[in-house]
Protein backbone atom coordinates (compact mmCIF):
# COMPACT_ATOMS: atom_id res chain seq x y z
CA UNK A 1 0.00 0.00 0.00
CA UNK A 2 2.60 2.56 1.04
CA UNK A 3 4.83 1.91 -1.97
CA UNK A 4 1.87 2.34 -4.29
CA UNK A 5 0.89 5.63 -2.63
CA UNK A 6 4.46 6.92 -2.86
CA UNK A 7 4.46 6.04 -6.55
CA UNK A 8 1.18 7.94 -7.03
CA UNK A 9 2.60 11.00 -5.25
CA UNK A 10 5.73 10.96 -7.40
CA UNK A 11 3.66 10.49 -10.57
CA UNK A 12 1.44 13.39 -9.56
CA UNK A 13 4.54 15.55 -9.12
CA UNK A 14 5.74 14.64 -12.61
CA UNK A 15 2.28 15.33 -14.02
CA UNK A 16 2.25 18.66 -12.18
CA UNK A 17 5.56 19.71 -13.72
CA UNK A 18 4.33 18.84 -17.20
CA UNK A 19 0.96 20.50 -16.70
CA UNK A 20 2.47 23.67 -15.26
CA UNK A 21 5.04 23.80 -18.07
CA UNK A 22 2.11 23.89 -20.49
CA UNK A 23 0.52 26.70 -18.49
CA UNK A 24 -2.49 24.64 -17.49
CA UNK A 25 -3.58 24.34 -13.89
CA UNK A 26 -7.10 22.90 -14.00
CA UNK A 27 -7.92 20.59 -11.09
CA UNK A 28 -4.30 19.82 -10.32
CA UNK A 29 -4.44 21.46 -6.89
CA UNK A 30 -7.44 19.34 -5.90
CA UNK A 31 -5.70 16.15 -7.00
CA UNK A 32 -2.57 17.01 -5.03
CA UNK A 33 -4.62 17.95 -1.96
CA UNK A 34 -6.40 14.57 -2.05
CA UNK A 35 -3.06 12.75 -2.30
CA UNK A 36 -1.70 14.79 0.60
CA UNK A 37 -4.68 13.75 2.68
CA UNK A 38 -4.06 10.09 1.79
CA UNK A 39 -0.43 10.44 2.86
CA UNK A 40 -1.52 11.87 6.21
CA UNK A 41 -3.75 8.84 6.80
CA UNK A 42 -1.36 6.19 5.47
CA UNK A 43 0.59 3.88 7.81
CA UNK A 44 4.01 5.44 7.16
CA UNK A 45 6.89 5.88 9.55
CA UNK A 46 7.05 9.55 10.59
CA UNK A 47 10.13 10.33 8.48
CA UNK A 48 8.59 8.81 5.35
CA UNK A 49 5.30 10.61 5.94
CA UNK A 50 7.09 13.92 6.51
CA UNK A 51 9.09 13.51 3.29
CA UNK A 52 5.99 12.76 1.19
CA UNK A 53 4.05 15.59 2.83
CA UNK A 54 6.90 17.97 1.97
CA UNK A 55 6.74 16.82 -1.66
CA UNK A 56 2.98 17.35 -1.76
CA UNK A 57 3.29 20.77 -0.10
CA UNK A 58 5.96 21.87 -2.57
CA UNK A 59 3.76 20.83 -5.49
CA UNK A 60 0.75 22.63 -4.01
CA UNK A 61 2.86 25.80 -3.65
CA UNK A 62 3.87 25.56 -7.31
CA UNK A 63 0.24 25.18 -8.34
CA UNK A 64 -0.79 28.16 -6.21
CA UNK A 65 2.01 30.24 -7.75
CA UNK A 66 0.97 29.19 -11.27
CA UNK A 67 -2.65 30.08 -10.58
CA UNK A 68 -1.60 33.48 -9.28
CA UNK A 69 0.57 34.11 -12.35
CA UNK A 70 -2.25 32.99 -14.63
CA UNK A 71 -4.73 35.39 -12.99
CA UNK A 72 -2.21 38.24 -13.18
CA UNK A 73 -1.72 37.79 -16.93
CA UNK A 74 -5.48 37.81 -17.52
CA UNK A 75 -5.91 41.20 -15.82
Q: Which pLDDT score, from 0 to 100, does residue 71 have?
A: 79
Average confidence (pLDDT) over 40-51: 89
Question: How confident is residue 53, by pLDDT bands cut at 50, 70 and 90?
Answer: very high
The separation between the first and the last C-alpha atoms of the chain, rounded to the nearest angstrom, is: 45
Average per-residue pLDDT in the chain?
85
Angle made by CA atoms 43, 64, 69, in degrees to the nearest 5: 160
Alpha helices (H) in 1-75, listed in sequence order:
2-21, 28-41, 46-74
Whether residue 1 is predicted with pLDDT greater than 60 in this model: the reply is no
pTM of the model: 0.78
Q: How many percent of the chain have pLDDT more than 70?
A: 96
Amino acid sequence: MTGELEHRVRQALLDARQTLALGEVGTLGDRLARLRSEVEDAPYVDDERRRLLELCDAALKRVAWAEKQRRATRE
